[in-house]
Amino acid sequence: MGRECLVKRTCPIIFGRLLRTKVRASDLAELLYQQCVLEDEPYADQHLLLGQRLDSEALRQRVFLYLVASIILALTWKYRKDPRASGLIPHIKGRAADEARRRWSQSEDYLVEEVDTAAIDLEHLLSTDPNENRALSFEWAQAWLAKAGHEECNPGTLFAISFFWQNQYIALGRMLERFRIVPD
């Protein structure tokens, strides 16, 4: 009996079934925003191999927008048919708008439009078959940097940028698998 309890506590999958933590939508939205935007943001330069370029305010804003957009995209795909999740996206966009207003004096309308544009751009990277466009990882990252006023031609850096955003989405998907939304 003691061993079975230890296994249940330490292993998230029992007999092929994922044990999911029950969480209110508002709590999940706050957790995602805190962990996947505010806590991930300081490490973006390390993962994106951007070095000194992250001193650019335009690039910092771009990283912030894409961290928010990656959450929005993951939530949209994961909970598209779950009405209990309807409050997640507006909550995250609201928190991001407050932060953008504090940091960059941006309006909420501007932020929402930019996050939606970032989500569409990110979806293009995630959903395009690499066999159809083998250079997508490089071209996408080059365009992503160019929109922040930076030029890059190093294939290693460009691949690292695309790879980071793809992994960010995968990590969010795995994180969301651990939760089951319950009514507030």
Is residue 146 assigned to a domain?
yes
Is residue 15 assigned to a domain?
no
Q: Which of 24, 17, 19 is nearest to 181 (CA)?
A: 24
Is residue 70 assigned to a domain?
yes
Is residue 1 assigned to a domain?
no
Give the per-residue pLDDT at 15.
Answer: 42
For residue 130, what are the domain limits?
Answer: 21-182
Within its chain, how far is the Cα of 14 from the centroid? 28
| pLDDT surpassing 90 at residue 86 | no
Three-class secondary structure of residue 59 per DSSP: helix
Q: What is the pTM of this model?
A: 0.85
What does each C-alpha distance from 73 to 54, 132, 169 come to in angstroms? 24, 22, 8
Count how many domains the chain has.
Answer: 1
Is residue 14 assigned to a domain?
no
Phi/psi at 179 (5° precision): -120, 145
Confidence of residue 11 (pLDDT cuts 50, 70, 90): very low
Give the per-residue pLDDT at 43.
Answer: 80
Is residue 7 assigned to a domain?
no
H/E element, 157: helix 155-177
Is residue 84 assigned to a domain?
yes
Give the separation between CA 132 and CA 130, rounded to whole angstroms: 5
Give the per-residue pLDDT at 87.
Answer: 84
Is residue 4 assigned to a domain?
no
